[in-house]
Amino acid sequence: MNSLNNIKTEAIDLRKKGKSYGEIQKKLGVPKSTLTYWLKGIPLSKQDRKRLYTARLKNMIFGPGSIKERRKREIEQIIDSAKREISSPLPPEIHRLFGAALYWAEGTKDGAIQITNSDPLLILYMVRWIEHTFAISPKGLKAWLNIYPHQNDPELKQFWSSLSGIPVSNFGKSFVKPTSKGVKRNNLYYGTIKIRVPKSTDLKHKVFGWIQGALKEYQIESKVVERKWIRLRIEKPVNLD
């Protein structure tokens, strides 16, 4: 009994010091229902009420029970569940078409095979895809970086070389973006890398052929709609400067 009274006395003392029920519970291990019974008559100062109210608002917005955190956990569960739907490693045919689709979305359409991106995972996949699909070693690729003035060019080249297997000696001169008030610092932690496969124009056409083959069931429908709206097509403007 004396021990319980001591705990109650300490709880009252903490409440008088402006502590929240949660803070007192964490320190003493007493259920909140008991604290409510013990402390309901203990007044708080205006300053303490303001502090506790602000803390509750922050917890509602940013705490584990906030809408943002609940949504974050929901998204993590969706992604984890979807990941289990994919067998790994990918079968060869899917691997080939997945890389082709990524190139269709992210690669250049003119000249040799060339892809530019800032995502290390995407770049690693595409380098491996080029190697497995066309038997072209990373040592045969060329690379260039697009970075900001405050970034370390030699170290970034070492990073991308370590990731991709492309020798640092195969990297050309990096393009350093001019500083601007509208540029966020460190929004591209590793910069952007451009990878080129020398003498690969025909291989690029082959990739686009795979894409057309995979999408052939939709081509007729697409062409019908395009012909219907042909009047909307315009020539690309020519820069004469």
Strands (E), the chain: 114-117, 142-147, 175-176, 192-196
- Opening angle at CA 149, ends 160 and 181, nearest 5: 125
List of residues 6+ apart from 45 with CB closer than 8 A? 18
pLDDT computed for residue 69 by the predictor: 75
Map out the domains of the chain as residue ranges.
Answer: 2-44, 92-221
* Main-chain dihedrals φ then ψ at residue 198, nearest 5 degrees: -60, 145
**CATH 1.10.10 for the 92-221 domain, yes or no:** no
Q: Answer for the pair 164, 123: CB distance below 8 angstroms, yes or no.
A: yes
State both tokens at 71: 């949504």
CA separation for the pair 42, 31 (Å, rounded): 17
Q: Mean pLDDT of successive 10-residue segments in the chain (241 residues)?
A: 77 83 84 84 81 73 71 90 90 94 94 96 97 97 95 96 98 89 64 96 96 93 92 73 53
**Helix segments in 111-215, DSSP class H:** 120-134, 153-164, 201-214
pLDDT computed for residue 235 by the predictor: 73
pLDDT computed for residue 20 by the predictor: 82
CB atoms within 10 A of CB 229: 8
